[in-house]
Amino acid sequence: MAENPESGNGPAPKQINLNEIAQQFMAGLQRHFDMLAFNLAAREGAQEGAYIRHANACSVMPSAPHHLNFEHVQAYARDLMMRQLLNDTLNLAATALNNAHFFLALIQAKASATVLSPEAQKAAQDAQKSFISAPFHEKFNRLETNFGVLCPLEDTVISLGMALQALHQQDGIVREPQVDENGELAFDLKTVEIEESESGTPPKGRIVEKRKVFREGEAIVLADADLQSFLITIAAFADHLFRAVSKFGQNNGAT
């Protein structure tokens, strides 16, 4: 728990609870997962007749010659959903990083004092503003250098940004700027593997890592299960960050 105090005889300090922030983040992430499942279900059940009926409901279109047929609009909608999902996933990763840094900066500022002074609070706020505007690779560097926090899924988050760059600028084709020293744009995605069980007992699932790789010149194509795995991966990424913040607080006397 961190404090955001007012100086003098002002209002009582605001208590900011890490567990509450973590729960709010995971609840928001679940909404993204639910909406993805809903969109996949809606796409699966879409019918050409219903599409034609809705398209002609107003008896006029903005530009009828550019109207997409059912097959083309399905492909367009799938591509748009994939782009939006990857963009949302990257934004969620940024939110988790920013939240983690906020707590780490406050804990560090208060480590040597019983009450967080206005000067120390301002220093933490300035550090947070700088962190929010920093690029992803710099965020990871600052967490490691300033707080000793390592992020096992750092490369996958960086690859997300590269994938979006390819989708927006190169029609989804991976080019040299997006690949690593091995010539790959790679993602380590979390997924569930169902383990065989003895007769009469329900099967058990365990989280495993699946590597998704695209090479230079290849198109970024993701299955529905891959899209869901991206959200599961961000959940694992955020969980690791919040646990690291909690451990940092314990090591520095925060409660």
Q: What is the pLDDT of residue 124?
A: 83
Phi then psi dihedrals of residue 204, to 5 deg: -110, 145
* Global confidence as pTM: 0.86
Helix, strand, coil percentages, rounded to 5, for the chain: 60, 15, 25
Domain boundaries, the chain: 15-44+66-255
Q: Is the dihedral of CA 147, 148, 153, 156 positive or negative?
A: positive
Say what angle helices 70-110 and 18-45 make with each other, to 10 degrees: 180
How would DSSP label each residue in 25-40?
A: HHHHHHHHHHHHHHHH
Residue with tokens 């992020």, as numbered in its chain: 151
For 188-242, what is each residue's pLDDT tens digit? Answer: 999 988 877 777 677 788 889 999 999 999 999 999 999 999 999 999 999 999 9
CA distance 39 to 216: 30
CA distance 140 to 108: 17
CA distance 116 to 122: 10
Residue 3 bridge partners (DSSP)? 15
First to last CA, the chain: 6
How many residues does the structure list for the chain? 255
CA distance 14 to 17: 10
Helix (H) or strand (E) holding 249: helix 224-251
Spell out, as residue ranges, where the chain has pLDDT lower than 70. 1-16, 112-116, 200, 254-255
CA 234 to chain centre: 5
Q: What is the pLDDT of residue 8?
A: 42
Burial class of residue 166, CB neighbours in 10 A (0-12, 13-18, 19+): buried
Residue 210 bridge partners (DSSP)? 189
Q: What is the pLDDT of residue 203?
A: 77
Burial class of residue 211, CB neighbours in 10 A (0-12, 13-18, 19+): exposed
Residue with tokens 């279109």, as numbered in its chain: 61
